Each structure stands twice: as C-alpha cells, then as structure tokens.
Structure 1
Amino acid sequence: MARDPLRRRRTARVDPPGTLPYATPDATDLARRLTGLPGQTEVHQFNDRGLDHGAFIPLMAMYPAADVPVVQLSMPTLDPTALLTLGARLRALRDEGILVIGSGFMTHSFAVFRQPELVTHNRAFDEWAVDALSRGDVDTLADYRAKGPGAAVAHPTAEHFVPLLLTMGAADDPASAVSAIDRVVMGNSIRSLQLL
C-alpha cells in the first residue's frame, strides 16, 4: 500500500542524506480486489510497506503531486510466461481506467560504466527489443535471454526487463507499443513505452 508517506534514503553521494516523501491517496479497496483476482498465483496484501524505488521514481515524474491512488505489486516470479499470465489477469482493470505500469529499464548494465565499449551490446539489445515490440512478438521477448543480442550484458539479471512482459500481458494489443521516452543515460536505454 502507498497510503503512508514513503521515506527512502537517497543514495546519491552529491546530496546529504535525506528522505523522498511520496504519499499517495488510499488504495485499500483496489488492493483488496487484487487479492481476489482469478488465477493460480496467490496475491498477498501487505499494508505496512512503502513503495519500492522502481515504483515511486517513475510515479514522481508522471504524477509529482502524488494525487493518484497506487497499489504496488511485487513480482511473484521472474518467469516470463508467469508474468504474461499475471498481466492478462490485470487486463480487465484497464477497462476501469486503472493504469498498469511495469517499471524497469530497456537495458540495465553496470558493466558499461567500467567498460564503455560494452554499450554496443546495450544498443543491439534495445534495437532488437524495439523491433520485437513493433511486431507484438511476445514470444520472442519472453525468450530474451536466448534471442536478445547482448542480453547477458544488457540484463545480467532479469528484474529490470521482465516487468515489460507483465505490461504486455495486460495490453489489449501487444503490437501497440509506442516509445514515449527514447534516451540513453550512462550507456543504458531508459526507453519508456506505452501500450494500449
């Protein structure tokens, strides 16, 4: 639940230690509804946790006034197929105007900081993902470890890529992806997508 103010320590060394408050309106009723969604993966509700940085950082950019109710779902698995299925379970909520966000990076590699020449792997992965997205090729994206060029560098771990699969599962049209943000920051693609 995001009802209580979030307090997280900043990690940037240039700023003195502090907190980032992001208190959103109560979303208890929606959270209760999510625990009752049909499916094999059980959903548990915790009311005493603030939002993770993967949720509040994009929300702070999108809704700086923190005026929208927020329910954060922790990823129950990193399995692409299970996340597509969970996304499909959330699809009906979109008909009610509920926004489903999968937060991560199109590439998330700290290796490029030490070896800038590895940025070519990130570029190749980003271009491959954009092509697969334009075709709505969910199966190819789900098999990103084997099919994505440079995947081992672009995503040494799964948690920054697979949220995309949850949102694709929730989309009415997986081929509807439009790049809302197309930028590279410190060698990593922070591409942001909208899906219908």
Structure 2
Amino acid sequence: MFLAHGSPMSALGGDDHAAALHTFGRAHRDAKAILIVSAHWQVSKPLRLSAWDRAPLVYDFGGFPQELYQLTYPAPGNPVLAARVAGVLRAEGHDVTPQTDRGLDHGAWVPLRLAWPEAATPVLELSFPFVSPEELFQLGKALRPLRDDGILVAGSGGIVHNLRRVHLDNKQAAVDDWAAEFDAWIAAQVESRNLEKLFAYRSLGPHARLSAPATEHFDPLFIALGAAFPEERVETIFAGFQYGNLSMRSFSFSSARS
C-alpha cells in the first residue's frame, strides 16, 4: 500500500483523508505487523531496519503548534520479526543493518496513527537508498514473502509534493491544474500497472518536475508497487488534495489471493 502523510498537521486528523485512513485501518486490524518505508528515511546503503521493542517517535519538523510535539504513538516493535525481515532481504542480496537508536519519523507515525490509533500492531520501519525506480521496485519485490506472513508493507510519501508551491494558509485551496494532471496520470499508470511509464515518470509524466522536484516523497511508491503481487487490484483509499497541490492520494492492493 501507499499512504500519503501530507503535512505534519495531518496528525491532528479531523478531515476526509484521516477518516479514510481510519476506515482502512479498521478493515486491517488483524495484520501481524506493519513494515513501513517513509520518505523521511532515505539514506545511503546498507538498508537500516528498526529493531526496537517499542517504537519511539521522532518529531522531525519545526515551526508547528506545540500540540503536535505532544502526540504519542506507543506502537510495539518486534525484534524477532525484524530478524525475519532482515533475513528475507539478505536472501535477495540486500545488506541490512538493524538499528535501535532511531525512532519513527513523522512520515511513518502520522499515517499509522490515523489508520491504527490504538497502536496495538507491531511496527517496523525500513530505510530506502538513493537508487533508481527500477531498483526500488526490486526492493519492494523482495518484501513480498512478508505479506504471505500477514505483514502489511507500506510506502509513505506523496505523489505531488512541492513545498515551494503549497498554499499553507489555505488547506481547502482550489487544486492547481498542474498537480491534478500529474496525480491523475500517475494514478492511471498505477491502475494499469504500466511500470515502463512509471519508471520513466520524470520524462513522461505531465509537470513531473514541478510535482516532484525532489524524489524522496515519490520513491516509496515504487517499493509499494514492488511489494504488490501482479494479480492484485488497485484499491483507492483516498484521492484528493490539501493546500492546493499536496496530493493525499493513498491506495492499497487487494489481498484477495488464492
């Protein structure tokens, strides 16, 4: 699945996006664990994987209301499961380093808190490297066996994410045409699983460099795509914008597999 985390203010909920994530979370309460790849943990190789007993939080943002820094999300970790994840990745040739000194960044805990507010499901966070879309897809593909174990695999970011263009003074601002066009184009390629076009989105997508001037918020999409099985249907969790051009599009892949 791919979850848009939006602004840190999203953590306060109270909007349609938050309600949609909550509905999705209620339908997936039986998950054994959640492995999330956030736009805010992109680092050079090797991969880093959280291995704590309980997830501490990182308030990796500044200049927001004090209430945001008082929010909690005491989800359990699972070091044994982390070892299983590391083993799956190493079997596919990925070097993985367990890490206990970094908590969940807001790209991870904001959508998780909205979808699973009870914080009862174990959470692991995985970093992602500076590599091509094709390589990120293969990283996601390496995670597929975990889904058969009942683990949800999530990418967290945003299809359109240009902080220089957002209308921060108006959450309900009219949607900019360029953002709507790119978001719709990406949605169509995801729906049809047109990986060739998705891998080349920087040159083929309308207004791609305006919509994703940096790639870190877009990149987790490729990991989510790789983790999906080919026969699964795309299911929209939410589609819409905040602040004029911040895409909140979130989707999952049907788990109805024989």
Give the structure with the higher percent strand: 2
- Structure 2 distance, partners of 1:17, 1:103, is 19
Please give the root-mean-square deviation of Cα atoms over the aligned residues, in Å. 2.2
1:110 is aligned to 2:155: no
Q: Which of 118, 137, 143 is the matching residue for 1:90?
A: 143
Compared with structure 1, are the counterparts of its residues 18 and 113 closer, same or farther at alpha carbon in structure 2 (3 Å cutoff)?
Answer: closer
Partner of 2:208: 151
Q: Residue 140 of structure 1 corresponds to which residue in structure 2?
A: 197
How does 1:1-196 map onto structure 2 within 5 Å? 1=50, 3-8=54-59, 11-15=62-66, 18-37=69-88, 38-113=91-166, 119-173=176-230, 176-186=233-243, 187-196=245-254
Q: Moved runs in structure 1, 4+ residues, more than 4 A? A: none
Residues 126-165 of structure 1 show CA distances to partners (whole Å, capped at 9, x for unaligned) of: 1111111111112211211111111111100111111011
Change (3 A) 1:161 1:9: closer
- AA partner of residue 144 (structure 1): Y
- Deviation track 1:107-133 (CA, whole Å, cap 9, x = no partner) reads 10123237x999222111111111111
Answer yes or no: is the 8 Å Cα contact 1:112–1:118 preserved in 2.
no
Q: Do the aligned partners of residues 130 and 4 (structure 1) sit closer, same or farther apart at CA in structure 2, a change above 3 Å counting? A: closer
Q: Is the 8 A contact 1:178 1:195 kept in 2?
A: yes
Instruction: Name the % identity.
Output: 34
After TM superposition, the score normalised by the length of structure 1 is 0.90
Uncovered stretches (5+) of structure 2, i.e. residues with no partner: 1-49, 168-172
Q: 1:9 to 1:108 in 2, by over 3 A?
A: closer
CA distance 1:33–1:178, shift in 2 (3 Å) = same
Number of matched residues?
Answer: 195
Residues 141/34 of structure 1: CA separation in 2 closer, same or farther (3 Å cut): same
Unaligned ranges ≥5, structure 1: none
Higher relative contact order (CA 8 A, sep 6+): 2
Task: State whether residues 10 and 20 of structure 1, in contact with CA within 8 Å, keep that contact through their aligned partners in structure 2.
Answer: no
